[in-house]
Structure 1
C-alpha cells in the first residue's frame, strides 16, 4: 500500500505537468499520455480501496465479504480507458480533417522525456511488488489456512492468480512507458521539422489503440469473474475425473467452480460414495486432493450414499 501511495503521488504530480505542457505545446499526444496516466492513478486508487475493503468482515447479506469490489473497480477503470481513448481518437481525427495550430516539438520532447523518467520509476516500484513478493503477500492474505509447504508445492499455480487492479495498474505503467518513448521520438522529429506536426496526431491514434489493447485481457478476466466461469487455469473435467478415480467414490455431480476474485476460488459439489465407505474419511481425502492439486481453498462437499 505504501508503494501504491508513492505511485499515486508521482502520477498526480506529473499529470498536472503534462496537462499544462500539453496545452502549451498544442500536443494531443501529450494529453493522451496524461489521460493514460490519469487512469494509472484511478487504478492505483481502486487497488488501495479494494485492499482496504477486502479486510471488511462478511455480513449476513454479504456472505462472501467485499472482495468483488476489486472486480467492479477494475470494470470502472476499463470503461474510463475506453471513454477517454474514444474522445482522444475523435479529437485527433477532427484535427487531421480541419488542421490545427503549430505543435511545439521542443516542449513536447522535454515533457515526454521527463515522463519517461517518472514511468521508469513507477515501473520499478510496482514491478518489484508485482513479482514474487506480491504473490506471497496475497497468498498470505487470502489463504492463511494453507500451510507453507502447500504454497511452495503449488507455487506455479498460485503465480497465475493476481489482483486485477494491481495487474491493471502495472499494465498501465508499462503501456505509458512505451507511450512516453513514442511521444519523445515524435517530439524530436517535430522539433527538427515543425511542418511534420501530423506525427503528433499519428502518435495519438497509435497509442490510443495500444491503450485499448492493454484492456482486452483484463476485460476477459473481469467477464469470467462476473459470469462465474470456471477459472481458466482449472480443468474441471480433469478435477472431476481425479475425484471419481478414488476407490470409495462412485460419482461426482452438481460441481460448480467459480471465482469471487481471481485469487479466491470456490468449489462446491456432491460426491456419491459406496454404502460401506467412511464418509468423513472420503470428505477429508477429496478436500485434500482439491487443495493440493488445484490450490482451491474454499471447498464445500456434500457426501451422498449410493
Structure 2
C-alpha cells in the first residue's frame, strides 16, 4: 500500500506542475487575445478569450486542487482532500454554460448590427493562440489523463484550440471576401464547442458527487461473480458502489458464507477478487452466517414498535 500511496503522490505532483504551466500559458495569452479582439473588433477573438478566461480559472483551480490533494488525510477528513478536485470540475463546467450563453447573445447582436473587423490583426492573434493552445494541450497530454480535472482541463484547451482554428477561418474569409458575418457565426461554433466540453465535465463530476456507481461497475454482476467464483461464499447482497474521485472506486457489501468457512480468509478472497477482476481496491466487507444481520435488526425494531 505504501507503494500505491507513493505512486499516487507522484501523479498528483506531476498533475500539479503541468496544470500550473498550462494555466500560466493560457492566462498570459488570454490578455493578449483580449487586446487583439478589441483592436481588431473581432467577436471570435473575444469569444475565444472568454473561453480562455474560463479555462485559466479552471486550470488555476485544478492546479490548486492537485496541490490540495497531496495533503494527507486527518481525523476530520478521513479520505483527504481528493473530492475537492471533483467539486472544482463541476463548478468549472457550470461556468462554461454561462460563458457559452453570453457568446451566443453577443453573436446575435453582431449579426443584427455588423461591425468592422480588422482581418490581419485577427489572423495574427488567432494564429498565435493556436500555437499556445497546441503547446498547452501537449503539456496536459503528459499528465494523468485518468484524473477528471486533467481531462476537463484538456477538453477546455482542446476547445480553445478549435476556437483558434475557427477565428483563423473567419479572418481568412473576412480578408478575402469582406463578409464580416463569418466572425459571429464562427463564434457561435466556439460556443457549441464550449457547451459540449461543459456537458462532459458536469456529467462526470455530477455522477461522482451523487455517489452513483462508477462507469463499468455493475453491483449485481459483482455480487454474482463473487458467489460463482469464490468457495464458501453463499450469497452477496447490500452491494453499494461509488467513487471518491474518478480514479478511486469504493464498495461495501454483505457476504453470507458457509458455517465452516474462515471469515478472515473469505474477506481476503473477496477483496482480492474485487481488485483483480473489477479494479476496486477499497472495499468494506461484512461477513454473515445464514441470514442478514440487517433483516434481524429490522425485525426486532418492528416488534418493538408494534
TM-score by length of 1: 0.86
Aligned partners of 2:90 and 2:206 also within 8 Å: no
Residue 170 of structure 1 and its aligned partner are, at CA, apart by 0.5
- Which protein is bigger by CA-based radius of gyration? 2
Whole-angstrom distance in 2 between the partners of 1:96 and 1:189: 16
- The two structures, once aligned, show a CA RMSD in angstroms of 1.4
The SS at the match of 2:170 is: helix
The SS at the match of 1:243 is: helix
Q: Does 1:23 align with 2:38?
A: yes
Partner of 2:140: 126
- Range 43-52 or range 262-271, more displaced: 43-52
Q: Does 1:254 align with 2:238?
A: yes
Partner of 2:101: 86
Residue 276 of structure 1 and its aligned partner are, at CA, apart by 1.1
Give structure 2 stretches of 5+ with no counterpart.
1-15, 291-306
Partner of 2:227: 244
Instruction: Choose which of 115, 120, 123 in structure 2 pairs with 1:101.
Output: 115
Aligned partners of 1:43 and 1:166 also within 8 Å: no
Aligned partners of 2:211 and 2:243 also within 8 Å: yes
Whole-angstrom distance in 2 between the partners of 1:229 and 1:32: 35
The runs of at least 4 consecutive aligned structure 1 residues that moved more than 4 Å come to none
The SS at the match of 2:188 is: helix
The SS at the match of 2:142 is: helix
Partner of 2:6: none
The SS at the match of 1:233 is: coil
Whole-angstrom distance in 1 between the partners of 2:63 and 2:161: 22
**CA offset digits 1:263-292 (Å, max 9, x no partner):** 011111111111111111111111110011
Aligned partners of 2:33 and 2:45 also within 8 Å: yes
Residue 236 of structure 1 and its aligned partner are, at CA, apart by 2.0
Greater relative contact order structure (CA < 8 Å, 6+ sep): 1
Aligned partners of 2:115 and 2:180 also within 8 Å: no
Q: Does 1:192 align with 2:172?
A: no
Q: Does 1:164 align with 2:148?
A: yes
The SS at the match of 1:61 is: coil
Whole-angstrom distance in 2 between the partners of 1:79 and 1:186: 28
**CA offset digits 1:4-55 (Å, max 9, x no partner):** 2222221111111100110111111101111111222222212211111112
Instruction: Choose which of 180, 188, 193 in structure 2 pairs with 1:205.
Output: 188
TM-score by length of 2: 0.86
Partner of 2:297: none
Whole-angstrom distance in 1 between the partners of 2:94 and 2:126: 26
Whole-angstrom distance in 1 between the partners of 2:208 and 2:196: 20
